[in-house]
Structure 1
Amino acid sequence: MSGRPGVLIDLSPLTENPAFARMWIGSTLSGIGGQLTLVTVMLHVFALTGSTFAVSMIAVAGLVPMVLAGLYGGMLADAFDRRLVALIAATVTFVSTALLAALTWSGGETIWWLYVLSMINSAANSVGMATRTAIVPRLIPRDKLAAASALNGVAFGLTVMAGPALAGLLVALTGYGWTYTIDVVLMLSMFLGLWTLPSLRPEGEVVRPGLASLVDGWRFLRRAGNIRMQYIVDIIAMTFGQPLVLFPALGTVLLGGGALTTGLLTAAVAVGTFASSLFSGRVVQYRWHGRGIERAVEAYGAAILLFGLVLLVSAGASPATETAPHIALIVLACIALAFSGAADNVSSIYRNTMMQAAVPDAMRGRLQGVFIVVVAGGPRVGALYAGTLATFTALWFPPLLGGFLVIALVAILARRSPRFRGYDAENPEP
């Protein structure tokens, strides 16, 4: 990629490491399908129930199995061939998505089936994500880990830009069955990326899955103050600053535009993620990762606060409908969400690099399991916060209050943790 040196993204992890490149491509294509299903399930539940709370419960229903699977999957990744563990997790996701498509085509889908299959997908994805992330440091050198994290930001941006927008369009034009079916097809690419990897057994002392392995990981985490602090900061951001569950209702009753607006709002987050990764050259060169996480998460809170203000203005405007949306306000909401995606991605680059560089390989699967639980579980708690609060107040209130809370809480915690703020990527310490 041409451009001013040090500004654009570093592509060397892809060009110099074929195994990482194959896994990255497979994860990206299957991720687009996963986003198709994620948004379609939300729209499907809202169509069946008309309830934002019911949509939020889709996320909450998957929380417990996701937590348990993430923790146990991390132990599996530290005890067995990580390639095999990732392949099994991908197979479970493939089968559950295929069943979702079959039920929809046959007309047998119900709210309870959507809940159950979402739970299975959450659990399998938790194991797969933890294992694949633990694999990355075995494929590329440590000084390229930040660049690899930025590339994963590009992948995430592509999946969330393409997936939700396509989901909104496909649901509006063809219904739910085709969307689920396309995900089934795209999932096949994940198998190609994983199947061609070499055997990747953990290095160092291996602890069999079970209570002893879990206790061993917990003891390490208690000593790892920097890792623990990044977990806490991310939980705060995702709990109080995650408005995704509100998007179906926003497209229906506040901003207008229906399913297409839902897809645009979700895709706007990915636009910010993609752009910040594309111009991540200087981001990955910044060595003070703890300070970078703090500033990025505070910027994220400010963007969510701005999004809440846009919704507040929309609530005071004339009523919007699917055919007569508030176009200007939708654009402003998308801009705010794009800034939130950019800030979250910068934080993610530093958090991922810290996890992969500071944690020893024999412990990496378990800590990645906890990391995935935090990353994926936080938004589900956030869905409960936003869905419940919106039910009893207004759609604009959760992001408005949440943005304030994210900024204030992270500022207080970071300033009380000088070791975290002084974390140096050139001398990684957990």
Structure 2
Amino acid sequence: MSLRRALVDVRPLRTSADFRRLWISTSASMFGQQVAVVAVLAQAWALTGSSFAVGAVGLAQAVGMVVCGLVGGTLADAVDRRRLVLWTTVGQTVAAASLAAQAFAELRSFVLLLVLVGVQGALAGLGAPARRTLAVNLLPSGQLGAGLALSSLSFQVALLVGPALGGVVTAAWDPAGAYALDAAFLLVAACGLGGLPSIRPEGGDRPGLRSIAAGLRFVVVNPVLGGSFLTDVLATVVAMPVALFPAIAAQRFDGDPRLIGWFLSAIAVGGLLAGLASGVFARARRLGAVQLAGSLGWGVALTGFGLAEPLWVALGCLAVAGACDVMAVVSRGATTQLATPDSYRGRVSSVEFVLGAAGPDVGNFRAGSVAGMTSAPFAAVSGGLLCVVGLCVLTLTDRPLRTFERP
């Protein structure tokens, strides 16, 4: 493969004005979210001085995102998806502006902060499944992987730059400045959506509990979708290592707290490099095989991280894990959209969103629990090995996923 084809494929941005608008909208929304994370943590700590309270803010946001994510899936299969994403983004903008107003007015109400963050998370969850279905309606199937890789690349950049920018703004202008910047990013996201065409589902069900149940049944009986989501569960619930970073830094690398940030940055750097070289896998035809290979690489790299003694080896393993994660996420996203009839895409995307939102938290809880009973290195190694074994079994038994190709 030539160097040009190996680099990130920008054809979707070049050839589709509508996808360009969607990419700008999604990127702005992600940047705003990462900027606001620092402000929320700082304000919650300033108001309460309690780590439990800070954790409660994250829980309120996560619960809203998961519950409304399922509701958003059934709505996405019944109404104009572009309009649903637009109005939920407008709602998030109002919530961010309200967060800025309460911080600027120095109301000092933790309950109000909790409510506004929960509302913003719920609106994000409500619109997320519909947003995930837009790219497949705007791009030819041969460019869908490239489009998702571009979105993944902007997410990795937001993950690296957003919190740092949020910290600088919060230090200079207090949380109100960061919330205002989040609102400005969300306003840009809403404007980008306004230029998109109407995108209505083809033959979707009426929204409700029966519609949600039908979507879940569709995932369970479809070996390509069920296998794709099982790879995500094995990678996150079984092998997620972030909760182990403080203990491993303390036990193996003299406890320097900066190492926790380095560990997180190593994953993000690996993901960013994979995004820049996404032409290698985004152009691939055998999406199922690419997804399984990426997830296997994630498990092997995390096993290596648990065993690593020199710091540079540990950081290298995490960078490889981050690169493999992007490879798996992009190919899984393309597989999910291409293997699903349009009438089910919203509900199937909601399952993908819920797993993505809840899986890492459950995985970190698992890792912390195992480390508490044994040790952090054992928890990392055992999680990585279980992930690899599970994926090997899935690869051997799920032929439809293993051989799935994009049209």
Tell me the TM-score normalized by structure 1. Answer: 0.82
Partner of 2:18: 19
Tell me which moved more, 215-224 or 163-172: 163-172
The CA distance in 2 between the partners of 1:28 and 1:180, in whole Å, is 17
Deviations along 1:178-205, one digit per CA (max 9) or x if unpaired, are 33332222211111111111111112x2
Aligned residues: 402
Deviations along 1:131-190, one digit per CA (max 9) or x if unpaired, are 111111111111111111111121112211211232344456665443333222221111
User: Structure 1 pair 402/103, CA: closer, same or farther in 2 (3 Å)?
Assistant: farther
Equivalent residue letter for 1:226 = V
Partner of 1:254: 255
1:406: Cα distance to partner? Answer: 2.2
The CA distance in 2 between the partners of 1:227 and 1:404, in whole Å, is 23
Deviations along 1:56-77, one digit per CA (max 9) or x if unpaired, are 5544444443222111111111
Partner of 2:66: 67
Give the share of equivalent positions with the same residue, in percent: 33
The CA distance in 2 between the partners of 1:85 and 1:241, in whole Å, is 34
User: Structure 1 pair 229/40, CA: closer, same or farther in 2 (3 Å)?
Assistant: farther
Partner of 1:206: 204
User: Structure 1 pair 218/336, CA: closer, same or farther in 2 (3 Å)?
Assistant: same
Structure 1 stretches lacking a partner, 5+ long: 314-327
1:87 pairs with 2:68: no
1:219 pairs with 2:220: no
State the Cα RMSD in Å.
3.2
Equivalent residue letter for 1:14 = L
Equivalent residue letter for 2:10 = L
1:126: Cα distance to partner? Answer: 2.0
The CA distance in 2 between the partners of 1:94 and 1:264, in whole Å, is 32
Deviations along 1:292-336, one digit per CA (max 9) or x if unpaired, are 2222112112333344456xx6xxxxxxxxxxxxxx94x765544
Write out aligned runs for 1:162-181 (5 A).
Answer: 162-171=161-170, 175-181=174-180
Match of 1:424, SS state, is coil
1:32: Cα distance to partner? Answer: 1.1
CA contact (8 A) 1:287 1:425 kept: yes
Partner of 2:301: 303
Match of 1:6, SS state, is helix
Match of 2:6, SS state, is coil
Partner of 2:322: 341
Tell me the TM-score normalized by structure 2. Answer: 0.86
Match of 2:237, SS state, is helix
User: Structure 1 pair 339/40, CA: closer, same or farther in 2 (3 Å)?
Assistant: farther
Partner of 1:358: 339
CA contact (8 A) 1:355 1:368 kept: yes
Match of 1:200, SS state, is coil
Write out aligned runs for 1:83-232 (5 A).
Answer: 83-109=82-108, 112-171=111-170, 175-203=174-202, 205-232=203-230
1:393: Cα distance to partner? Answer: 6.9
The CA distance in 1 between the partners of 2:42 and 2:204, in whole Å, is 44
The CA distance in 1 between the partners of 2:53 and 2:18, in whole Å, is 41
Match of 2:145, SS state, is helix
Equivalent residue letter for 1:290 = G
User: Structure 1 pair 416/57, CA: closer, same or farther in 2 (3 Å)?
Assistant: farther
1:391: Cα distance to partner? Answer: 6.8
The CA distance in 2 between the partners of 1:133 and 1:82, in whole Å, is 10
Equivalent residue letter for 2:224 = N
Write out aligned runs for 1:281-292 (5 A).
Answer: 281-292=279-290
The CA distance in 2 between the partners of 1:43 and 1:143, in whole Å, is 44
The CA distance in 2 between the partners of 1:77 and 1:369, in whole Å, is 9
Partner of 1:235: 233
Partner of 1:324: none
The CA distance in 1 between the partners of 2:264 and 2:45, in whole Å, is 16
The CA distance in 2 between the partners of 1:127 and 1:418, in whole Å, is 33
The CA distance in 2 between the partners of 1:71 and 1:407, in whole Å, is 29
CA contact (8 A) 1:56 1:383 kept: no
Structure 2 stretches lacking a partner, 5+ long: none
The CA distance in 1 between the partners of 2:301 and 2:54, in whole Å, is 23
1:401: Cα distance to partner? Answer: 4.0
CA contact (8 A) 1:66 1:377 kept: no
1:402 pairs with 2:383: yes
Tell me which moved more, 110-119 or 218-227: 110-119
CA contact (8 A) 1:165 1:263 kept: no
1:350: Cα distance to partner? Answer: 1.0
CA contact (8 A) 1:28 1:158 kept: no
The CA distance in 2 between the partners of 1:113 and 1:385, in whole Å, is 31
Equivalent residue letter for 1:213 = S
Match of 1:165, SS state, is helix
The CA distance in 2 between the partners of 1:170 and 1:226, in whole Å, is 44
Partner of 2:269: 271
1:269: Cα distance to partner? Answer: 2.8
The CA distance in 2 between the partners of 1:180 and 1:349, in whole Å, is 30
User: Structure 1 pair 412/167, CA: closer, same or farther in 2 (3 Å)?
Assistant: farther
The CA distance in 2 between the partners of 1:383 and 1:84, in whole Å, is 35
User: Structure 1 pair 98/267, CA: closer, same or farther in 2 (3 Å)?
Assistant: farther
Match of 1:148, SS state, is helix
User: Structure 1 pair 296/78, CA: closer, same or farther in 2 (3 Å)?
Assistant: same
